[in-house]
């Protein structure tokens, strides 16, 4: 028993690649985890590297990724770079026998994702994809409520995710924002998606597909609608999940009461409904208590725990590949302007 405890609590040595936008958040949270040491950071931008060094002068930095690969003491490489670089960086890390944590989306194609999964299995290394919302207290509670059938039969999932912090040049708005909602859908619903349709709103701009609507049909008749939007002047992060008994409204912008649960099965007497006295369904509203742990911290703790115990992460390579599959299908739906059949 003592040997097992000693193994589980062994120090995990981590390197972070990319400290422009998301990388510093990884570093900030990794520094809070017991028995985790950040042994290096790699960044090709001199500006980003200089800015990072001022904030974390004790962490060794480099612009040469090869130095990290050749360091046999590194257990995990966390990659927070543009998606177009993910496959090459992750492939080289796996060949160097490192576990990898990849920022979303996992890769640019399903073929690349599958290649990484196969290599990781061959090398007996972990792949985890940073689908951070899955580890939030709100989404964990939603999953719990659905498993307990608190909502009854699920009818729809409706998401609005607009106003990103900045517009990206390497991907369109779907690849940037929709992975959040797609990963949530894959986590909370056991049903398989059957079809997907994507419509974009185009205005006179050099950036294509800056606003889009996605429609996904699931088994048992569930329909998911996702609206993603870059240029909106207001920030909205809201999800509605409607069932035969209850409706969940999840507002990620809300500082404290992120989830409200409304009763929807309140009966209405049709004999009392007139043009002058329309019927409104009204019922009790509840606000569940949520785990307040920062989602990214919970995600990284889970990643480190999986490395120590040699277990499979909740958002592993297969989960990451499923999201990429849906994103690829969106591209096809946009190109063909039609609904696309999905084959899991």
Question: What dihedral do alpha carbons 183, 185, 191, 195 form, nearest 10°?
Answer: -90
**One domain for residues 141 and 82:** no
Partner residues linked to 76 by β-bridges = 14, 99
What's the whole-number average pLDDT of the chain? 90
- Check residue 274 and give its pLDDT: 56
CATH number for the domain that contains residue 204 = 3.30.360.10
Burial 132-169, CB ≥16 within 10 A → b, else e: bbbbbbbbbbbeebbeeebbeebbebbbbbbebeeebe
Evaluate if residue 238 carries a pLDDT over 70.
yes
pTM above 0.85, yes or no: yes
Question: Do 215 and 232 have their domain in common?
Answer: yes
Is the pLDDT reported for residue 208 higher than 90?
Answer: no
Can you give the pLDDT at residue 258?
Answer: 96
Q: Are 23 and 80 in contact (CB under 8 A)?
A: yes
- 280 or 14: which carries more pLDDT confidence? 14
- Co-location of 144 and 33 in the same domain: no
Same-domain check for residues 178 and 216: yes
* Segment 298-311 mean pLDDT: 97
Give residue-wise pLDDT tens across range 99-129: 999 999 999 999 999 999 999 999 999 999 9
147 with 112, same domain?
A: no
pLDDT tens-digit profile of 219-229?
889 999 999 99
Top pLDDT among 277 and 67 is at 67
- Asked whether residue 80 falls in the same domain as residue 171, the answer is no
What's the domain count of the chain?
2
Residue 344 has pLDDT above 80, yes or no: no
Q: What is the per-residue pLDDT across 197-207, written as a single tens digit (0 to 9) for each?
A: 999 876 555 56
Domain assignment of residue 163, given as a range: 134-293+325-341
Question: Is residue 268 predicted with pLDDT exceeding 80?
Answer: no
Residues 102 and 203 in one domain: no
Do 142 and 248 lie in one domain? The reply is: yes
Are 205 and 243 within one domain? yes
Q: Is the pLDDT of residue 273 over 80?
A: no
Which stretch of DSSP H or E encloses residue 113?
A: helix 110-123
Do residue 288 and residue 301 come from a single domain?
Answer: no
pLDDT band at 283 (very low <50, low <70, confident <90, very high): low
Q: What is the pLDDT of residue 149?
A: 95
Residue 135 has pLDDT above 50, yes or no: yes
Whether the pLDDT of residue 188 is over 50: the answer is yes
Q: What is the CATH number of the domain that holds 115?
A: 3.40.50.720
* pLDDT tens figures, 71-103: 999 999 999 999 999 999 999 999 999 999 999
For residues 51-59, give the mean pLDDT. Answer: 95
- Same domain for 232 and 151, yes or no, is yes
Per-residue model confidence as pLDDT tens digits over 312-325: 999 999 999 999 99
Residue in this structure with the two tokens 């889970």, named with its chain if needed? 302
Residues 143 and 175 in one domain: yes
């Amino acid at each position: 028993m003592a040997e097992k405890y000693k193994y589980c609590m062994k120090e995990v040595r981590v390197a972070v690649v990319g400290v422009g936008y998301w990388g510093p958040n990884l570093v900030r949270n990794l520094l809070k985890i017991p028995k985790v040491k950040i042994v290096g950071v790699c960044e090709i931008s001199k500006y980003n590297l200089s800015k990072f060094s001022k904030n974390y002068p004790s962490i060794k930095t480099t612009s040469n990724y090869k130095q990290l690969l050749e360091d046999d003491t590194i257990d995990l490489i966390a990659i927070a770079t543009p998606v177009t670089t993910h496959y090459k960086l992750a492939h080289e890390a796996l060949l160097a026998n490192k576990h990898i944590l990849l920022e979303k989306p996992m890769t640019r194609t399903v073929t690349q994702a599958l290649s990484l999964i196969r290599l990781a299995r061959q090398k007996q290394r972990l792949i985890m994809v940073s689908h951070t919302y899955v580890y939030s207290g709100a989404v964990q509670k939603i999953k719990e409520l659905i498993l307990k059938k608190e909502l009854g039969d699920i009818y729809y999932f409706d998401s609005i995710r607009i106003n990103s912090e900045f517009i990206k040049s390497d991907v369109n708005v779907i690849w940037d924002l929709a992975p959040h909602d797609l990963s949530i859908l894959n986590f909370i619903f056991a049903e398989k998606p059957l079809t997907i349709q994507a419509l974009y709103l185009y205005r006179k701009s050099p950036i294509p597909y800056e606003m889009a609507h996605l429609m996904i049909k699931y088994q048992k008749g569930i329909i998911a609608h996702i609206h993603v939007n870059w240029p909106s002047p207001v920030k909205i992060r809201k999800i509605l999940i409607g069932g035969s008994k209850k409706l969940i409204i999840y507002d990620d912008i809300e500082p404290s009461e992120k989830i409200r649960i409304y009763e929807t099965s309140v009966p209405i007497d049709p004999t009392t409904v007139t043009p002058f006295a329309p019927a409104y369904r009204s019922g009790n509203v509840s606000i569940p208590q949520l785990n307040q742990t920062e989602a990214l911290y919970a995600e990284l703790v889970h990643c480190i725990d999986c490395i120590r115990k040699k277990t499979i992460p909740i958002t592993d390579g297969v989960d990451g590949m499923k999201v990429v599959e849906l994103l690829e299908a969106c591209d096809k739906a946009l190109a063909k302007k039609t609904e696309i059949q999905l084959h899991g």
